[in-house]
Amino acid sequence: MTTRLSPCRRRAPRCLLPMLCMAFAATAGDAPQAAVADDGPYVFHAAGKRLEALWVCAGKVVRETRRARGGATIQPRCGYPHALAIPARIEAAQAPLPPGARIVALSDIHGQYALMVRLLRANGVIDAHDRWQLGRDQLVVAGDVFDRGPQVTEALWLLFQLQQQAAKAGGAVHFLLGNHETMVLYDDLRYLNPNYVQVAGLLGRPYPSLYGPDSVLGEWLRTRPAMLRLGDTLFLHGGIAPENIGLVQAMDATNAAYDRSLGMPKAQLKADPASARLYDGKTSPIWYRGYFNGQLTTQEVGALADTLGLARIVVGHTTIGEVASFHDGRVIAIDSSIKRGKSGQLLFIEGGKLSRGLLDGRREPLPALRDVPDDKE
């Protein structure tokens, strides 16, 4: 990381703009900063088939190296509170939905790990020790674990562990890419929680490199899809614009293109026609809001879903504040404002029956809405 010098500290004999100097000094580290919150681990592949784990505990860097042949277990120091099972290989395969299995979905966690744990425990997705409890059922997280909140690392590791535990039980955990995953990896850090700026500085790495291809979580992220079809339901972060219907029809190729592009410079992604429509801020699958801002009528949404052979499209990204149904049930919105750290809901799909799980564990039918709040975050 580079340190930005105040105008007062450069070679000019004196500062001619006192107010500007004060503003620069505050951003250059002269103002008091909050203590660094515990964070980690960040786990990297090292030479000799070893793993190096890094934590920031009580403001100090802690390092641990261990042999990784056949996988490894990393015990907690601080940050994520549970032992981590690191497999020998990161699997990219997506498990099909078994007959009779339920689907549970949420989105836009945005670093609110504690609230996510509370919601998953209350609805029986995980037990009191944060282990998978849904057996053959499947959990879908429709993007945006990164940014805003203070516990991104913990949320990612929980999903990483639940994916392994679910697979052993015959179930599955699907973590889909959202726009904030891609933003962080191409170094757009405008929504980054300030604690992670300090953590990256202490670890001596730019924040995106903590999720580089040489890291366990970075390797995992580069296997995650942007869209997923389970039965007659399509899951993705933003939505499918009518002009991008071919991206769903060639879903495997689309997901592979996202994985290959993660971490590439933003300007390069926007300039290349092959990747530009994957990252377009208005029409791409990770940014689209056309189901909620009046771009499409209910008839047009229905025609889109029918063309793809879908009963429904489930999306996050546009904050509704609750899990709700739109366009005669053809679109289900699941960004329930978890990012604000106060409340959240889950979507349950059990055969043809849809319901939502509340923070106290109660279940209720989905409301059918027409209007949404103006939330462009």
Among 25, 54, 24, 26, CA closest to 41? 54
- Neighbouring residues of 141: CB distance < 8 A, sequence distance ≥ 6: 105, 106, 107, 109, 159, 173, 174, 175, 176
Helix H or strand E encompassing 28: none
Please say whether the beta carbons of 146 and 152 come within 8 A: yes
pLDDT at 21: 34
- Round to whole Å and give the CA distance between 370 and 365: 16
- Round to whole Å and give the CA distance between 189 and 196: 10
360, 365, 369, 373 alpha-carbon torsion, rounded to 10°: 10
Please say whether the beta carbons of 193 and 150 come within 8 A: yes
Low-confidence ranges of the chain (pLDDT < 50): 1-31, 377
pLDDT at 92: 79
Amino acid at residue number 6: S
The residue behind tokens 């395969």 is 93
Please say whether the beta carbons of 363 and 357 come within 8 A: yes
pLDDT at 47: 92
Number of C-beta neighbours around residue 300 at 10 A: 14
- Neighbouring residues of 294: CB distance < 8 A, sequence distance ≥ 6: none
- Neighbouring residues of 27: CB distance < 8 A, sequence distance ≥ 6: 4
Q: What is the pLDDT of residues 13-23, one digit of tens each?
A: 333 333 333 33
- Round to whole Å and give the CA distance between 320 and 223: 29
- Round to whole Å and give the CA distance between 64 and 40: 12
The residue behind tokens 């006192």 is 18
- Round to whole Å and give the CA distance between 140 and 258: 18
Q: Listing from the earlier edge strand, what are the strands of the sheet with 324-326?
A: 227-230, 233-236, 312-315, 331-333, 324-326
What CATH class is the domain 103-364? alpha beta
pLDDT at 375: 56
The one-character DSSP state at 345 is: -
Concatenating the DSSP letter of every residue in 37-63 gives PPEEEEEEEETTTEEEEEEEETTEEEE
Phi/psi at 174 (nearest 5 deg)?
Answer: -115, 115
pLDDT at 250: 98
**Mapping DSSP to helix (H, G, I), strand (E, B) and coil, where does residue 216 land?**
helix
Would you call 297 exposed, middle or buried from its count of C-beta atoms within 10 A (0-12, 13-18, 19+)?
A: exposed
Distance of CA 12 to the CA centre of its chain: 45
Q: Please, what is the angle between helix 113-122 and helix 152-168, to 10°? A: 30
Q: Locate the domains of the chain by residue range.
A: 39-86, 103-364
Distances (CA, A) of 5 to 10, 22, 194, 200: 7, 12, 19, 19
pLDDT at 96: 86
Q: Listing from the earlier edge strand, what are the strands of the sheet with 39-46?
A: 39-46, 50-57, 60-67
Mean pLDDT across the chain, nearest whole number?
91
pLDDT at 153: 98
